[in-house]
Amino acid sequence: GNPWGYGKQDGPSVWHKNYPVAEGDRQSPIDIVPHQASHDPSLGPIVLNYDKCTSIKIANNGHSVVVEFEDSDDRSVIQGGPLGNPYRLKQFHFHWGGKDCHGSEHTVAGNSYASELHLVHWNAVKYKTFEEAATAPDGLAVLGIFLETGDNHRWLHTITDVLYTVKFKGSVTDFKGFNPKCLLPSSLHYWTYLGSLTTPPLYESVTWIIVKDPIIVSEKQLGKFRTLVFTGEEEDQRTRMENNFRPPQPLKGRKVRSSN
């Protein structure tokens, strides 16, 4: 069976049993309270160099849909902002709800968005492998983008059109030539804080960079994510993949900083 999931028996409220760091001092996600974030003029802009990025495949890993990138060199990196050096793009994935009123992991003044996109990067300057970086306090940088329902997103169809090929856990499809820059809002103003992975093993290794402006996607596009299932093709139980988000965790005295 699954080591963890999002259900009653294996969901976020019991993860601490197998992953005690779940009750640690820098867990994610959090509720972001804009007026309590301290504006830090020393925080420069986020710089994304994704133009040579190489997406390889799209997969259903039983928890989300993930697009993996070639990360053997610095062809696609994020830098600037709170980051001391460039971090290499490894993968991106989404979290979403069963209805549009919730689904994001981070919340803003207690408000949820319908979904949240995470672009996961690792510190290949200081660490030799992603796995090593994933356990280091400055090992990962995740760029978070909120998704709100409204008009159709002109580029998201590139992903939603192929979701039927990764319906079941363990399915993988070639997915080359996709540049995730097309999924970003025009303004990259952000909040940043030190946190963790939001799924087991919940390592406290993430510098979170949460973009303030959401992108707008249609209910129809978002609905296609809900056609995925958590379960494998061979399993008789077909559990719709939705509500794959962890709720906000205690801030424990952490400071959230805001770019301008």
Ligand X SMILES: CCCCCNS(=O)(=O)c1cc(S(N)(=O)=O)ccc1C(=O)O
Q: How many residues bind ligand X (CB under 6 A)?
A: 13
Is omega for the bond preceding 201 within 30 degrees of 0, making it cis? yes
Catalytic residue chosen out of the listed positions 16, 35, 39, 63: 63
Q: Min. distance of Cβ 49 from ligand X in angstroms?
A: 20
Count the Cβ atoms, other than its own, within 10 Å of residue 185: 14
Among 63, 90, 106, 118, binds Zn ion (CB under 5 A): 118
Q: How far is CA 79 from CA 74, 87, 152, 168, 211, in A?
A: 11, 6, 30, 35, 14
- Judged by beta carbon, residue 88 or residue 106, the one nearer Zn ion is 106
131 makes contact with ligand X (CB under 6 A): yes
- Provide the token pair at 219: 């209910």
Q: How far is CA 94 from CA 20, 32, 82, 120, 160, in A?
A: 25, 19, 23, 11, 12
Q: Which of 79, 18, 58, 76 is nearest to 164 (CA)?
A: 58
Annotation marks residue 63 as catalytic: yes
142 makes contact with ligand X (CB under 6 A): yes
List the interface residues with ligand X, window 62-91 (CB under 6 A). Answer: 66, 91
- Judged by beta carbon, residue 45 or residue 98, the one nearer Zn ion is 98
List the interface residues with ligand X, window 175-234 (CB under 6 A). Answer: 197-199, 201
141 makes contact with ligand X (CB under 6 A): no
Q: Min. distance of Cβ 178 from ligand X in angstroms?
A: 17
Judge residue 155's burial from the number of C-beta atoms within 10 Å of its C-beta, 0-12 exposed, 13-18 middle, 19 or more buried: middle
Active-site amino acid positions = 63
Contact residues: ligand X, CB under 6 A: 61, 66, 91, 93, 118, 120, 131, 134, 142, 197-199, 201
